[in-house]
Structures are given as C-alpha cells and as structure tokens.
Amino acid sequence: MKILITGGAGFIGSHLVEKLLKENCQVMVLDNLHTGLKENLPEGVSFIEMDVRDENILTVFAKEKFEAIVHLAGQTMVNVSVDDPKFDAAVNIQGTINVLEAARKTGVKRVVFASTAAAYGDAQELPIVETTTLSPLSFYGLSKVTVEHYLALYQEIFNLDYVVLRFANVYGERQGDGGEGGVISIFTKRIASGKSITIYGDGGQTRDFVYAGDIAAGIYCALQTDNVNTAYNLSTQTEVSVNAMVALFDEITGNHVVPLYERARKGDIYRSVLSNVKAITGLGWKPVMSLAEGLKRTYHSFNQQK
C-alpha cells in the first residue's frame, strides 16, 4: 500500500513511519517542518517539504497516486487556537480541505484523520464514548469537529472513505512541547534539567495518556480495517490526574518533584478519559504500554539526547 503521511516528520508521524515501514508499506512524508524535524525520520524515507495549504499539493498527489492518506498535519495547541482562531482554522480546516480535494481528484481510496478528545469538551459521562455529543471548548477542538463533518460529506458526495481517530493525550519519545500531550514532554525536559514545573489549575484535572507507539499501531489498524466511515477513540481508558502523573516522575527519577500551581487556562478541559471499546472491537486494536513504562522510556530518551 502506498501511503502519504502529512505531518509525518512530527512526533506521532515519525512513530507511524517506523510502524508502516515494519509492515512493508510504501511511505511518503509531507511536512512543512514548522514543528517536525527531518532527523525524526528513518534514513531513506521519501520526503517533500510542503505546507498542507499549498495548492501545489495536487501536483504531488497526481504524480504519486497514493492509495491512502494519514492526515496528521495541523495546528495542535489549544492556547494558540484561542489566541489566533483565524490561523487555527486556516491550517486545520482549509488545509485539510486542500488535502481532501487533492485526494478525491486523484483516486485516493481512504483518508485516516487525526482528531482529538478535545472534540468532546467537558463531557458529563465518563469514559467518553464515540456517540457522545461533540461540544468542544476551544477553537482547536472545533476545527477538528468541523473536519469530521467535511469527511462525512466527502464520503457521501465523492465516495471517499475515511476513518476518524480521536486521540487521547499522546506522549512518547521525540515529542515537542506543543499539543495536547505536551505536558509530559514539558515536565520530562524540565525535571531532567533540574528545573521547576508548573501545573495550571489544582492538578486534579485528569487525562487519558496514550503512548505514541500504541497510536501508530492504531493508525495502521485504521488503514487495514473494513469498518470505515466512522470514528474511533484511541485511548487507554484510564483516567490519570496531573498530580498522579507527577508522582510517577518521583518514582522514575528518585527525586521529589514539587510543582508550582497557577490559574487554570481558558479552553482547557478538566476531566477526560475515553472509552476504547469500539476501537478494540472495530479495529482489532488495543494499547499495550503502561503509563509508568511509557514515562520511563520518554524520560530516558530525553536524557540520552542531552
């Protein structure tokens, strides 16, 4: 299978490239390198430096004849979306439409789209199932929900199949400071450097932290499944508070971490944990990495890079 990964030089994308190469897929990466790094990619991977908003993307699609697209490229920071909604929409909505137009004009069979737990907002019933009303609290979440609606209409009108994957909070090696799981990356780097960490809110806010390698495996399942044109949560279905996550760093480092607490940020969800039952049954996927082991790998990976 010939697959294009937009945003493939980023954190999740680079884990996915490794997974797809192991599965003997033919892979090309398209990335503007705004946050991604070419050194994240294995040597020899086909790469084109381009923004998803670039109209020349159609030329790439026409030449390469991709069978499937994994669309990871996007603006991933809640605070940026609140500060600059126009930029967020330009990248996440208009950029995605640009990709979808190129896909449907060149015979692409399937688009796998990276959506988010932020699409749900502050849901009342936990764990959150895929049929929960989508009520995002930020423009970032709204942009992802908007694209989900575009995908449904592209399937209905143009017969372009899709799989939406609503990621929980992804973490792991090679993660930058941005994005929803970025708190782990930020904490890892600061703790390893002997610096203080800041928690926005009381630390009781919860997240469902899922390892990037597990996400890559889930995306591969989404490329293979016959159960298309629907959304799946990719999560551990385990609710972990930020304070509890910091306590795990105590165990990993052998040092007691004392956080600084500041006012909660606008647009941040307080509690979030996603059901993964549909992904287990519909995709044949299941996460395998524990948070303790995943944090340990992430921490040691950063220490090796220093």
| Residues 66-104: tens digit of each pLDDT | 999 999 999 998 889 999 999 999 999 999 999 999 999
| Tens-place pLDDT, residues 225-274 | 999 999 999 999 999 999 999 999 999 998 888 899 999 987 677 888 99
Domains and CATH numbers, the chain: 2-170+209-235 (3.40.50.720)
CA 86, distance to chain mean position in Å, is 21
Q: Which helix (H) or strand (E) element contains residue 96?
A: helix 95-105
Residues of the chain with pLDDT under 70: 177-181, 267, 306
pTM over 0.85: yes
Among candidate residues 214, 209, 195, the one with its CA nearest the CA of residue 257: 195
Encoding tokens for residue 92?
Answer: 């996440």
CA 256, distance to chain mean position in Å, is 30
Cα of first residue to Cα of last residue in the chain, in angstroms, is: 37
Catalytic residue, chosen from 120, 140, 162, 232, is 140
Known active-site residue 211: no
